[in-house]
Structures are given as C-alpha cells and as structure tokens.
C-alpha cells in the first residue's frame, strides 16, 4: 500500500501543534518543513543547534497585524520591538512591510539604522537610557523618545539644550493594570520599574512642556507581553484616554499616543491573541481622540516565524524516573523555559521519529544547571540518539537572549524564504570566545 503523503503522528500534541502552526508542514518524504524547505536539509548542512526564521511568516504576520488596524479604521505607525529579534535581515524584511523600530538601547538604535530604517521611524523606549544613548538619539534625530521618569525628562532636556536640538517626547505612563501574564513579563503594574505613576503623569507632562529642548507630544503605554485577552488593553487604554482629556483640559495639547505591544501567541493550546480584538480595544478607547497612534509589537510577529533545531545527544535512562532526552541545544541558546518555565512545542524533524511509540520524557540541555530543562515531562515520540527536533515559536526572545555560558558558541542562524534558504549568521567560532580576553602581565609573571 502506498504511504500517505502527509503523515500524522500518534501523539496528539505533535499533531495539534502542526494544526496551529500553518508555517510548518510535515511530509512523509521531507519530514518537517518550514515554508518550502525541509528542516533536516538545513540541519544536515549547517549542523545543530541552529535557529531558522521564516521570512514569509514574518511578512504574513506583520501584514495581518496592520490589516487588523486598517480594518478597524485606524491609522497607526507600526514600530517593531527590536528586542524580540534584532537580526538585521529580520529588521529589513519588516521595514519593507512598513514597520519602523522600537529600540531600547544605543546598540538597537544603531542596528535599526544599519538595517536601513530611517531615523524618522525609530522610537526609543527604556527605563535607563544613558547620557551617551540619549545623545545618540539626538544626533540621529529619531522620531521620539518615550521618557520613563521625571529624572529622564530633566536629563534629556539638558542634553538636548546642550546640542541645540529638540526632541519629541512621549511620557510612558504606568497605568497600574494587570496584564494577566507571567509576573516576569508584566510591565504595567505599580510595583514595576516601568513608566511614570499614572497620578503623576499630568504634572510631569506640564513640566516637560516647560523644559527647553523637549516637545511633549503625548503618552506611551506598554503593560506587558504575551497578553491573550483584549480586556487589560481596554482597561489600560481607557485610563490613557482619561489622561489625555485631563491633559487637554489643563491646556496642554496631546497629538500622539503609543499603544505599546504585548499581543500574545499560541505556544501550546492557549489560543493566540487576536489582532482584531487588540485593534478593537484601541479604536474603542482611543479612536475618537484625534491623535497620531503608534504600536510597538514584537512577539506576535516574530515568535511563530522561528524554530530552533537541535539533535539528541543521548537518551539517559534512570531507574525510577522518566528518561532524559539530552539535546545539543541548551538554556544558553533558548533561555525562556529556564527563566519563565515557558512551554515550547518540540517536534521531531523526521517522519520516522514522529510516528514512533510515544513516551513521557524530560527534555534537557547539556549545561551544568538543573534549570537547563526545556520540558520536565513531555509526551513525545520515542527519540533515539541522533534524532533531530524543532523547538517551536522561538523567533522572538530566542537568539537575542542567547549567551555563551559554559563556553558554548552562539548557534548558527538561517533564513528561509519560499524554497530558498541562507545562513544569516554562521555558528560562532570558538576562538572568538576568548579572543578579546587579556591576561595581565602581572598574572603572567606570577605564573
């Protein structure tokens, strides 16, 4: 009997993951594919661990988000949150779909410029911008700085005055609204370090309008990340609208609002945050205010566009416990599971592996930390030494959060577009790990 052309796995988890990830398909000949490229071909040529990004998915999702805004009758200036994925190729692709950049450091600002994003489409957020970073923003003449404290207002004013420049400023307000997400990625409750307290915002706006070198234009808000419901957005934007009205009533013009990012994706079975519902929340609360609107999403666009390829180094069987599947990828590559107990889909690349018997295993990395665990108890097709897997939804907050802990080199990065693919960052050469290290003469002498 002929084999079916599309394999389904006996593991509902893997099957369901493929159903919720249309960018991935699985074929009996080619195994798991991202767009038109078999991932095993990339793993064969480039080795593992290896990050793979899908250009098509980036474009589709960026356009879907913009489409939802247009559909809601909104005109928004979109800025991609560079922290989510800062690769120059990614920034270029998104820039071509109409995105500017939301940056949080001088490094990100320079990267965005290097990717060809005009200064007029760059906004600078962040709670602790250094003088050097603010001077860079002034010198580049970026669109706006989202100021996060009374202190930063004074510093930016002094720096702008010193170089005879003016900077458009949005005051980031902390609305004290719970985004209903993981505590470590919530940014809009009072105890978080982000933004100025809601009740102090108007007084600070007034102060900004008195300071030389600043052009206060409005407010910014970002309440957290991986937000799945429109409710917290609505609550926060309602507070923002009240603030805008109070500011205008006090005689200060407000012409711009930055609605932040934060829309979540479906990692497991939680369903994904709806761009339409997000756009609806913006329109309902802010649509009638006659202001320029901006958004700064990261995860929703980039996370589903990326996978991390890895190989099983070995299966370690222990008496009385679940087998350990030890991968060649680790927490230094993908930190999210260790840092937030985040759940990421794990799917075998080979159809043969995917149709094998299922078992419960602990999927871990080789780093010397018990926290180096991708999944403490996961039902997966039986994976033998040498089997390869894709860790899903790693296109945002994946490669950008990598380190070289345990002297592990940064993994290679690949970009797929239709049936083409290219290495967009070679695997780091191990010698570069110590190339800049210096042993002082006085240590050499004692040795």
Ligand X SMILES: Cc1ncc(COP(=O)(O)O)c(C=O)c1O
In the three-class reduction of DSSP (H, G, I as helix; E, B as strand; rest coil), residue 239 is classed as helix
Residue 379 DSSP symbol: E
260 binds, among ligand LYS, ligand X, none (CB under 5 to 8 A by kind): ligand X
CA distance 284 to 180: 20
CB 69, min distance to ligand X, A: 14
CB 215, min distance to ligand X, A: 20
Binders of ligand LYS among residues 187 to 226 (CB under 6 A) are 187, 225-226
CB 185, min distance to ligand LYS, A: 5
- Residues in contact with ligand LYS, counted by CB under 6 A, come to a total of 7
CB 187, min distance to ligand X, A: 6
CA atoms within 13 A on the CB side of 185: 18
- C-alpha distances (whole Å) from 250 to each of 88, 149, 242, 247, 281 are 43, 21, 12, 5, 26
The runs of H, that is alpha helices, within 290-440 are 299-302, 336-340, 351-354
CA distance 99 to 77: 8
CA atoms within 13 A on the CB side of 151: 6
CB 174, min distance to ligand X, A: 11
Residue 398 DSSP symbol: T
By CB neighbour count within 10 A (0-12 exposed, 13-18 middle, 19+ buried), where does 414 fall? Answer: buried
In the three-class reduction of DSSP (H, G, I as helix; E, B as strand; rest coil), residue 261 is classed as coil
336 binds, among ligand LYS, ligand X, none (CB under 5 to 8 A by kind): ligand LYS
Q: Which is nearer to ligand X, 83 or 388 (CB)?
A: 83
- C-alpha distances (whole Å) from 306 to each of 91, 181, 303 are 14, 22, 6
Q: Which is nearer to ligand LYS, 101 or 160 (CB)?
A: 101
CB 83, min distance to ligand LYS, A: 6
Helices 230-249/201-210 angle, 10° precision: 50
261 binds, among ligand X, ligand LYS, none (CB under 5 to 8 A by kind): ligand X
CA atoms within 13 A on the CB side of 294: 31
Q: Does the protein bind ligand LYS through residue 243 (CB under 6 A)?
A: no
CA distance 47 to 61: 28
Q: What's the maximum distance between 2 C-alpha atoms anywhere in the chain?
A: 80
Among 113, 121, 239, 336, binds ligand LYS (CB under 6 A): 336
Q: Does the protein bind ligand LYS through residue 185 (CB under 6 A)?
A: yes
Q: Which is nearer to ligand X, 298 or 345 (CB)?
A: 298
Is 368 noted as a catalytic residue in this protein?
yes
Question: What DSSP element (H or E) covers 113?
Answer: helix 106-114
CA distance 5 to 35: 17
**Residue tagged active-site, from 30, 259, 266, 368:** 368
CB 239, min distance to ligand X, A: 17
Q: Which is nearer to ligand LYS, 187 or 247 (CB)?
A: 187
49 binds, among ligand LYS, ligand X, none (CB under 5 to 8 A by kind): none
Binders of ligand LYS among residues 396 to 415 (CB under 6 A) are 397
**Which residues are part of a known binding site?**
262, 296-299, 336, 340, 369, 397
Q: Does the protein bind ligand LYS through residue 79 (CB under 6 A)?
A: no
**Which residues are part of a known binding site for pyridoxal 5'-phosphate?**
262, 296-299, 397
Those residues whose C-beta lies under 8 Å from the C-beta of residue 65, and which sit 6 or more positions away, are 78, 263, 275, 295, 297, 300, 301
Q: Which is nearer to ligand X, 239 or 299 (CB)?
A: 299
Comparing CA positions, the residue from 24, 38, 29, 23 lying closest to residue 7 is 29
198 binds, among ligand LYS, ligand X, none (CB under 5 to 8 A by kind): none
102 binds, among ligand LYS, ligand X, none (CB under 5 to 8 A by kind): ligand X
Which positions lie near ligand X, rule CB under 6 A? 81, 84, 102, 125, 187, 222, 225, 260-263, 296-300, 396
Q: Which is nearer to ligand X, 33 or 173 (CB)?
A: 173
Q: What is the binding site for ligand LYS (CB under 6 A)? A: 83, 185, 187, 225-226, 336, 397
Annotated active-site positions, please?
Answer: 368
């Amino acid at each position: 009997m002929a084999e079916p052309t599309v394999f389904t796995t006996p593991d509902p988890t893997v099957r369901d993951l493929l159903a919720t990830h249309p960018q991935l398909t699985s074929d009996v000949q080619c195994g798991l594919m991202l767009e038109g490229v078999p991932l095993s071909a990339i793993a064969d040529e480039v080795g593992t661990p290896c990050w793979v990004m899908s250009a098509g998915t980036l474009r589709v999702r960026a356009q879907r988000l913009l489409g939802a805004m247009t559909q809601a009758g909104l005109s928004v200036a979109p800025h991609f949150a560079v922290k989510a994925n800062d690769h120059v190729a990614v920034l270029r692709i998104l820039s071509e779909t109409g995105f500017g950049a939301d940056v949080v450091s001088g490094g990100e600002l320079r990267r965005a410029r290097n990717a060809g994003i005009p200064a007029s489409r760059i906004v600078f957020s962040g709670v602790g911008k250094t003088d050097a970073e603010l001077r860079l923003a002034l010198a580049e003449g970026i669109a706006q700085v989202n100021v996060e404290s009374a202190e930063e207002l004074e510093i930016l004013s002094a720096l702008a005055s010193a170089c005879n420049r003016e900077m458009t400023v949005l005051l980031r307000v902390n609305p004290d609204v719970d985004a209903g997400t993981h505590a470590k990625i919530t940014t809009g409750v009072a105890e978080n370090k982000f933004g100025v307290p809601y009740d102090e915002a108007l007084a600070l706006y007034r102060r900004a309008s008195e300071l030389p070198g600043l052009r206060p234009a409005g407010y910014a808000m970002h309440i957290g990340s991986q937000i799945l419901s429109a409710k917290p957005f609505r609550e926060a934007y309602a507070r923002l609208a009240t603030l805008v009205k109070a500011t205008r009533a006090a005689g200060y013009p407000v012409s711009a609002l930055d609605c932040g990012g934060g829309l979540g994706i479906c990692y497991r079975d939680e369903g994904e945050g709806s761009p339409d519902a997000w756009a609806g929340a913006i329109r309902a609360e802010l649509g009638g205010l006659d202001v320029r609107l901006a958004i700064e999403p990261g995860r929703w666009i980039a996370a589903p566009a990326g996978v991390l390829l890895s190989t099983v180094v070995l299966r370690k069987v222990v008496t009385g416990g679940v087998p350990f599947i030890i991968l060649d990828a680790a927490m230094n590559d993908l930190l999210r599971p260790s840092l937030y107990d985040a759940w990421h889909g794990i799917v075998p690349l080979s159809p043969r592996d995917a149709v094998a018997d299922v078992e419960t295993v602990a999927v871990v990395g080789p780093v010397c930390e018990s926290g180096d665990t991708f999944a403490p108890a996961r039902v997966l097709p039986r994976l033998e030494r040498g089997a390869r897997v894709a860790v899903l939804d790693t296109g945002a907050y994946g490669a950008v959060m990598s380190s070289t802990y345990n002297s592990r080199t940064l993994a290679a990065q690949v970009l797929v577009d239709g049936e083409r693919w290219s290495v967009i960052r070679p695997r780091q050469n191990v010698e570069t790990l110590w190339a800049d290290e210096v042993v002082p003469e006085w240590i050499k002498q004692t040795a």
